[in-house]
Amino acid sequence: MTLAKWTTAAGTWLLAALMAIPAWSAEVGSNQRTAMPGTLNYVEGEASMNGEGLNAKSVGVADLQNGEVLETGNGKAEILLTPGVYLRLGSNSSVKMISTNLTNTQVALNRGEAMIEADELFQQNDLQVSQPGADTHVLRTGLYDFDADHQAIRVFDGKADVRADDHDIKVKKNHELELSSAKLKARGFQKDQIAKNDDLYRWSSLRSEYLSEANVDEAQRYYANGWYGPGWWGPGWYWDPWFSGFTFLPGSGFFYNPFGWGFYSPLMVWRAPYYGGIYGYHHFDGARPVAIGRGFHNHAVTAFHGGYGHIGAPVHAGGFGGMHGGGGFHGGGGVHR
């Protein structure tokens, strides 16, 4: 079977499985956490959902339903959309949930800025983001930024179809569309400048790193006796009690997301070797992953390239030192262990 046919078959199987299962859940002590499109996965600072204030205890419990609004003041929030897709809302922003349907998922950004990280998409998914003056269809996995205040749409990675002023405009990787422009045309932008100066981009990258580390932790948890262990049902959201949040586990293999962090299936993370060198390495202590130093994000030395690599979250060049101390899963104080 060709890769294209295998991917299509896998996508059809996954969507059928997701539609057959009403939610993704995992036991946490005596509590059960459930993930559906709209589930809150992280919050810091001032945020509310349909007028109700949010805090760390709301994570994995609060759900943004159709017609409800998620707002931030001096704070940020992350919600789950379809499995493998995250929406992150910047400060002083507001987003409304239009549809939580797995095959027709829609949100509307009313003000401020939102970023979508799409790590997994299938042909059956229809992911749409509306903002004043435009409706956007996310066509591929990637990283997308929506700015209602400045009337802009940026595609850091991936491809989008934007409907604006009765025109359909394709926006590809490293291009942006300014809706206030007299001539609607996608233009290139300096990604490095945005990555350095945009607060939501930097925060999203850090969130993505922690989710990758949670993925490694959770992937190992579901591997036992040479095959997938109890509780594993396939690709989707899984609650990690060490990180107090949901992370995404692919059904097989591994991939690098738009920020360069690795996500692994249970079988792959168990069997993978590690890389130990000048840039540091990741290893396992038999129960959960321990990050020592920082890896180096380069396909010549990362996991499964050339027969060796580090496991978990690869780090871009220049990233030395231990685990980040700020902006963790809860309270801005690093990762809960």
- Identify the segments of the chain with pLDDT beneath 50: 1-31, 225, 273-337
Task: To the nearest 10°, report the CA torsion of 209, 207, 123, 8.
Answer: 20
Specify the pLDDT at position 229: 65
Residue with tokens 């168990």: 270
Instruction: Write down the pLDDT at residue 268.
Output: 84
Do 252 and 332 belong to one domain? yes
**12 domain residue, yes or no:** no
Question: How much is the pLDDT for 228?
Answer: 62
Range of the domain at 80: 35-197
- The C-alpha angle with vertex 145 and arms to 139 and 146, in degrees rounded to 5, equals 100
pLDDT score of 94: 98
Which of 175, 129, 136, 169 minimizes the C-alpha distance to 154?
175
- pLDDT at site 5: 43
Write down the pLDDT at residue 213. 94
Q: What is the tally of structural domains in the chain?
A: 2
Interatomic CA distance for residues 7 and 127, integer angstroms: 19
Residues 179, 77 within the same domain: yes
Rg over CA atoms, the chain: 19
Domain end point (choices 197, 225, 251)? 197
pLDDT score at 165: 87
Predicted local confidence at residue 252, as pLDDT: 85
